[in-house]
Structure 1
Amino acid sequence: MTKAQARQLVVCVNNDGYAASLEKRKIYVALRDAAAEKHGMFRIVDESGEDYLYPRTLFRSIALPLAVRRAVLAA
């Protein structure tokens, strides 16, 4: 798995209980974590710049054109 395959882009659709850590409608990087996914969680790089587990229900996966995806991941 390449570094790009190990990350996916998601958008926060609900931050109830996590308003200090997540912004609604913001795009986040979700790191692949098989153990977390088995428990219905995403490993998200949040506002602190660190990665933490959050319920998958707070996010929706998004697909972006390749050039936009690269730009978002590089930012």
Structure 2
Amino acid sequence: MTHHFAVCTNNEGFEASLEPRKLYQVVEDEAAASHGMMRIIDESGEDYLYPAQLFTRLELPETLEKQLSDVA
């Protein structure tokens, strides 16, 4: 399973759920993406939809993505 990550660049309106400059795991969701949203595992540990413009996707080396996804 491939894991993807994004960094929060703006948490306006979502201050309790997102921290700016923090790395978040992305759950791929094509339907959400078609509506300008991203499914993110947030501070609660659950995945929720957020406006995609709040994040910048990162391309990380595969070994680092695996290490990050294994962190509980």
Letter matched to residue 58 of structure 1: L
Cα distance in 2 for residues equivalent to 1:16 and 1:31: 21
Structure 1 stretches of 4+ moved >3 Å: none
Structure 1 residue 71 displacement after superposition = 1.1
The 5-angstrom pairing of residues 31-50 of structure 1 reads 31-50=27-46
- The TM-score with structure 1 as length reference comes to 0.88
- The TM-score with structure 2 as length reference comes to 0.91
Gaps in structure 1 of 5+ consecutive residues: none
1:63 maps to 2:64: no
Letter matched to residue 68 of structure 1: L
Aligned length: 71
Partner of 1:29: 25
Task: Flag the structure with more relative contact order, 1 or 2, with Cα contacts below 8 A and sequence separation at least 6.
Answer: 2
Structure 1 residue 34 displacement after superposition = 1.1
Gaps in structure 2 of 5+ consecutive residues: none
The RMSD of aligned alpha carbons is 1.0
